[in-house]
A and B are shown apart, each in its own frame.
Chain A
Amino acid sequence: MAQLKLGRGKVAHAGSLPLNIAKDIVKNKYLYIMLSPVLAYFIIFQYFPMYGAIIAFKDFNPRLGIGGSAWAGLEHFKDFFGGMYFWRVFKNTLMISFYDLVFGFPAPLILALLLNEVKNALFKRSVQTITYLPHFISLVIIAGMIKDFTSSDGVINDIIAFFGGERVTMLLEPSYFRTIFVSSNIWQHVGWGTIIYLAALSAIDQEQYEACKIDGGGRWKQMLHVTLPGLLPVFVILLILDIGRIMSVGFEKVILLYNPTTYVTADVISSYVYRIGLQDFQFSFSSAVGLFNSVINFALVIGSNWISRKLNNTGLW
């Protein structure tokens, strides 16, 4: 946290005294040099391509280029909103994101808190390593494992059958899809997600714990009154960032796990667009959908940041 505070202080400084920027550059030239690739990355790969978003309003033809393609107005947006499956994919996208946020988002925080209480270093590290592992496995393999686990002769069904239940091929049940999707997401990312919390935990002032102990606080009270408030800023920032991704459920995992039986709960905006894009190279249509998603995401980020600032005075900016 110390670094973060320092960073914020600097920004405020430079902002209020523009004359000092040049001086600052000279003084911290190595820091600026280190910053420059990142800046360049964002300008080249994140900001510059935004110009390309105008193909959402054009009939883009690669040979004619962005400038040369004919204007199509809002035609692609009309096609998308007017499509038979618009409401279904829109709803599914929101539902999956929502479940992921409710169940998936707090999971790393809980794991980090639990790990924080573990005093045996060897055990702690083993748990960390094991929980990080799924994060590094390719999604295709993860999906293959999920298919194996959920198949009618898979591990999960073995357990169900052991307790006298009936075997079902879970990926053929529309009502199971979201549960499978979200719980496997948690399994994949919970370990990785703890890293940032553990980093924030290490920055909490030890004196606060001592003060709490002197006041008679036990472990539970310490967690409630020292640890959690210490983690709150990180938690809120991550939450805002996650809310900003609500409309973008990646298509990769969905298309690896769904099939026409589960379209009714599994088909999301990105997978639907993927199917359209695959048949014909409809760059413009895909861009229109992408733009629509981005606008909603952007509004959500602004909105949640505003709420967060109102409520507890922390936010992204």
Chain B
Amino acid sequence: MANHRNSKKRKWQLILGITMVLSLLLTACSGNGGSGNKDKAEPTQSAVSNTDGNGESKGNEGEEKPVYPMDTKDTFSYWAPINGNLITFATNLAEAPIGKEIAKATGVKVTYIHPTDGQAEEQFNLLLASTKLPDVLEYDWSIYPGGPEKAIADGVIVPLNDLIDQYAPNLKKMLEADPELDKMVKTDSGQYYAFPMVRNSEGVVFRGPMLRKDWLDELGLQLPVTVDDWHTVLTAFKEKKGAVAPLTAQYAGKMNLQDAFFGAYKTSHGFYIDDEGKVKYGPLDPQYKDVITLFRKWYSEGLIDKDFPIIERNTLDKRLLNGESGATVYLLGGGMGKWLESGKAQNPTFDLVAAPYPVLNAGEKPFTGQRDFKYNPKASAAVTTSAKNLETIVKWLDYSFSEQGTLTYNFGVEGESYTMDNGVPKFTDMIVKNDKYTSQQMLAQYTIPNGPFPMHEQKSTNTFPQQDEAVKIWSETDAAKHILPAFITPTVDESKKVAQSMTAINTYLEEMFIKFIMGNEPIDKFDGFVKQLEDMGIRDVIDIYQGALDRYNNR
């Protein structure tokens, strides 16, 4: 009987639970709708009065620089993912010190809308499906099917050419001075679609090969340059230092070596551009077989992590910090910086050093390596067709490209988060030597880590001299010539074809790559492997990318 009563009680609890969840869902829905409407209602009214007023007063001054703070009552809504480190301190950018500083400096109170952390992509897509868009959308517009050009044609975002000419002198100056950047931020037909995030030279190279410096010194070995050097070093790590996985790397869809070792054979683990400017797919190259043969040999000798297809970030940490691995290809900050910090804490002699991307013969310049582009499309702000007071919005966006604005976005509040030292901005101790919080957490509150602004040349988040050295070493490649730009835009039909073919091709490539290396597939099956890739339509995909690249080059 007691049992019976219990199950009854449980049933009631269940019903209560379900009702509560349901009612929560309902209120959540209506809540969203409500605030959305509020955002929309206000700008519509002020928009009319504003365009009139400014048209008269500023009309004859032409391209005069806007004066900040602006004298306006306009406001607008701005959708952007919130920085993960900021959430602990403020749920909205407007409440953070940097948000307040920007509002003060520009004179515009912006309503920020942030997607739930980790769901930005999903919510961005949902937004596109709705007809009520926020006024500004900061996201990766290159993922829009058909590219930004199609987004303009579909009436989602507005072309910015005239608006930049009229109201954004700072960005205009920057684009005129840098034709390379200019090419990246516009569409094939020459339309500007977003205010870009522009990386500084340090922000472009941030990943590469690194080794245990203390092991090298102890074994009396030189920093490896050629593939043969690497073989010697890795063998020594295995035999003399007992490393179970001398060379390891993160596996995310593929072994992330940033084409180290592949580059030595002048090929790649994916698409690349050859010396003649033609799009190529590495696995089709005859020299790709040489890479596979090399890895296969190293794997059988126990030099490559035998678990390489399941190495995640935390396993990588474990490998490096516990002396299981002596070499990897990974990040400057999240890898080298982090490991140096925790490695030295455990063992004062722990040290890492960056190695150049390997080559076959000493003296060669590495064919490729990690190199991102100046333009970071992931944090670029486009103005949607829902926006009413375009002039205010564009002027506000241009602020981050002004001299003062760049300082604010990069360094925060003068006298609080940074000071000027002989014209060079320096973070204060509150940011870099905070007792309670990490510098990343402080930076998230006082600066904009990612967003539509140029990164200041003096801004560096390196904490060890080894990292500064690494950037120099890793930059010494021909990667700029050989990496396929991320901003090429296949048409809608083409991207559909690419997506469908590439899912199957990537599945096949990765399965075979692993089988070849682990020795589960004889190496003379390579010709059959190439043929299979061709049967799966890889040539069509190459042609599509070639077409898109040609259009890009003609911009």
Interface residues of A (CB under 8 A from B): 34, 37-38, 41, 61-63, 79, 83-85, 147, 151-152, 169, 171-172, 195, 198-199, 201-203, 259-261, 263-264, 267, 272, 275-276, 279-282, 285
Contact = CB atoms under 8 A, between A and B. Distances in A.
Contact of A172 (B18, B309, B511): B309
Contact of A62 (B15, B129, B500, B511): B129
Contact of A37 (B19, B125, B513): B19
Contacts of A279: 499, 502-503
Contact of A267 (B22, B502, B507): B507
A265 to B, nearest CB: 12
A85 B511 CA distance: 13
A196 to B, nearest CB: 10
A152 B251 CA distance: 17
B307 A152 contact: yes
Interface string B96-137: 000000000000000000000000000001001100000000
Interface of B: 3-4, 6-7, 10, 15, 18-19, 22-23, 125, 128-129, 145, 154-156, 251, 306-307, 309-310, 495-496, 498-500, 502-504, 506-508, 510-511, 513-514, 518, 536
B128 A276 contact: no
Given A199-B10, A280-B145, 15 more contacts: A34-B15, A61-B145, A62-B125, A172-B309, A198-B3, A199-B7, A201-B3, A203-B4, A260-B309, A261-B518, A263-B511, A275-B507, A279-B503, A280-B499, A282-B496
Contacts of A172: 307, 309-310
A286 to B, nearest CB: 12
Nearest to B309: A259
A147 B499 contact: no
Nearest to A262: B309
A268 to B, nearest CB: 13
A281 B23 CA distance: 31
Contact of A169 (B129, B154, B310, B499): B310
A202 B504 contact: no
B514 A261 contact: yes
A135 to B, nearest CB: 14
Given A63-B154, A281-B125, A169 B306 contact: yes
A202 B3 contact: yes
A85 B507 contact: yes
Contacts of B513: 260
Nearest to A147: B310
11 contacts: A37-B23, A61-B145, A63-B154, A83-B504, A195-B10, A203-B4, A261-B514, A275-B503, A275-B506, A282-B500, A285-B500
A267 B7 CA distance: 40
Contact of B504 (A84, A171, A195, A264): A84
B118 to A, nearest CB: 11
- Which applies to chain B's interface (DSSP): helix, strand, loop or mixed? helix
Contacts of B128: 62-63
Nearest to A278: B503
A147 B129 CA distance: 38
A260 B7 contact: no
Contact of B145 (A83, A152, A281, A285): A281
A180 B22 CA distance: 35
Contacts of B125: 62, 281
Contact of A63 (B155, B307, B503, B511): B155
Nearest to B503: A276
A201 B507 CA distance: 48
A284 to B, nearest CB: 10
Contacts of B10: 195, 199
Contacts of A282: 496, 499-500
Contacts of B499: 276, 279-280, 282
Nearest to A65: B129
Nearest to A121: B2
B523 to A, nearest CB: 18
Given A37-B19, A272-B503, A261 B309 contact: yes
Nearest to B311: A259
Given A169-B310, A172-B309, A282-B496, A259 B504 contact: no
Nearest to B128: A62
Q: Which 6 residue pairs of A and B lie closest in terms of their CB atoms, listed nearest first?
A: A280-B499, A62-B129, A260-B510, A202-B3, A259-B309, A276-B503
A83 to B, nearest CB: 6
Given A62-B129, A169-B307, A79 B155 contact: no
Contacts of A41: 22
Contacts of B156: 63
A257 B511 CA distance: 15
Contacts of B7: 198-199, 202
Residue of B125, B496, B498, B502 contacting most chain A CB atoms (<10 Å): B496
A38 B125 CA distance: 29
A153 to B, nearest CB: 9
B386 to A, nearest CB: 13
B309 to A, nearest CB: 4
Contacts of B309: 172, 259-261
A259 B129 CA distance: 33
Contacts of A203: 4
A201 B495 CA distance: 57
B310 A171 contact: yes
A279 B513 CA distance: 21
Contact of B514 (A79, A84, A198, A260): A260
A83 B251 CA distance: 26
Contacts of A261: 309, 511, 514, 518
Contacts of A202: 3-4, 6-7
B251 A259 contact: yes
B500 A79 contact: yes
Contacts of B129: 62-63
Contacts of B536: 84
A48 to B, nearest CB: 14
Contacts of A85: 504, 507
Nearest to A3: B11
Contacts of B6: 202
Residue of A34, A61, A260, A281 contacting most chain B CB atoms (<10 Å): A260
Contacts of A151: 307
Nearest to A40: B22
B295 to A, nearest CB: 15
Contacts of A61: 145, 154
A275 B507 CA distance: 9
Contacts of B18: 38
Nearest to B493: A59
B282 to A, nearest CB: 17
A85 B7 CA distance: 47
Contacts of A275: 503, 506-507
Contacts of A195: 10
A63 B306 CA distance: 48
Contacts of A83: 504
